[in-house]
Structure 1
Amino acid sequence: MLEEAEFDRDDAAPIDMLESYFAAHGWSHERDDDEIVAKVKGSWAEYELRAIWREDDNVLQFLAFPDVRVADERRATIYETMGLVNEQLWIGHFELWSTSGILLYRHAAMIDGEGGGTLTLDQAEMLIESAIDECERFYPVFQFVLWGGKTPKEAIAASLIETQGEA
């Protein structure tokens, strides 16, 4: 967990705060006025993290791409899988872009416009870390369905086994 002392202030414009967070972690990133894209290496894949600030609506759209593409003939099974996976999420959801077959995790955060639309370090950390955690948690489920020949229920059961103790 990053300390607030590592930042100039404990809140900032949403894209500014995300840029500071990505830089503090040493993650490569590119930024425009209202959008930022970063790459982060996970256990299963390299994830693209993308945030888009919609100032008119005070909404920060946060997307995480776990590098999964779904062929047309596998989409029905992945839609079933996403339905079962999304039932287990408290925030955000997985979806499939119909035009490209790209699987992604999406979360939209309402940012208080009264304070100038700022994002705190804690909010940024929650947004980013929850997206990465959910991609890491469910990446094997999608792979088992796409490449392992498992049904969505079998894939979830195989992937989400709770381990006890340490090896």
Structure 2
Amino acid sequence: MITDEYEFAHDDFGPLEMLEQYFSAHGWTHERQSDDEVIAHFQGSWAQYELRAIWREEDNVLQFLALPDIRVSPDRHAVLYETLGLINEQLWIGHFEMWSTSGIVLFRHAVLLDDDSETALSLIQAGTVVEAAIDECERFYPVFQFVLWANKKPSEAIAAALIETIGEA
């Protein structure tokens, strides 16, 4: 793991290069899809996640997506939309959505960056972008399981999945 950001602070890394450094430091497989997109894979507690970062240079926006390998059949779209609405009310950064054509559930957020290369995206910021997405996916994955596979009502699923435990077993 990289603990000293200084070695990267003065290099002319763009946002995707900085994310690649973060992925490499954690030993995660990743590959460039194009000049403006990188994809990584991360094994979470609940699922294998595909992490996608897309850089829109003309707008200085880094869009980050985490796909937790959940596909929703068309007959479950309505209940999932209700679930997404309740979950998104609780989020400060980013949101969950479902692509209607494929039924893929994902978490998405974006970062507006300064166009100055020295302040575009630090290694610490790269980590924050990635960890925020993973943390929310891990936190809400059980809600999706309860709704989609156990046929729980969205409000019941959220209440059951977000119970805070105290101590260890």
TM-score, with structure 2 as normaliser = 0.93
Give the corresponding residue for 2:132.
Answer: 130
1:115 deviation in Å? 3.8
Q: Unpaired runs of 5+ in structure 2?
A: none
Amino acid at match of 1:166: E
Q: Unpaired runs of 5+ in structure 1?
A: none
* Aligned counterparts, 1:43-82, within 5 A: 43-82=45-84
Cα distance in 1 for residues equivalent to 2:94 and 2:2: 23
Give the corresponding residue for 2:4.
Answer: 4
- How many residues are aligned here? 166
Amino acid at match of 2:159: A
Secondary structure of the equivalent of 2:52?
strand
Give the corresponding residue for 2:20.
Answer: 19
* Contact 1:13–1:117 (CA under 8 A) maintained in structure 2: no
Amino acid at match of 2:30: H
* Contact 2:9–2:118 (CA under 8 A) maintained in structure 1: no
Give the fraction of aligned pairs with identical amino acids, expressed as a percent: 64
* Contact 1:14–1:117 (CA under 8 A) maintained in structure 2: no
Residues 66-100 of structure 1 deviation map (CA, whole Å, 9 limit, x = unaligned)? 00001111001000000000011110000010111
TM-score, with structure 1 as normaliser = 0.94
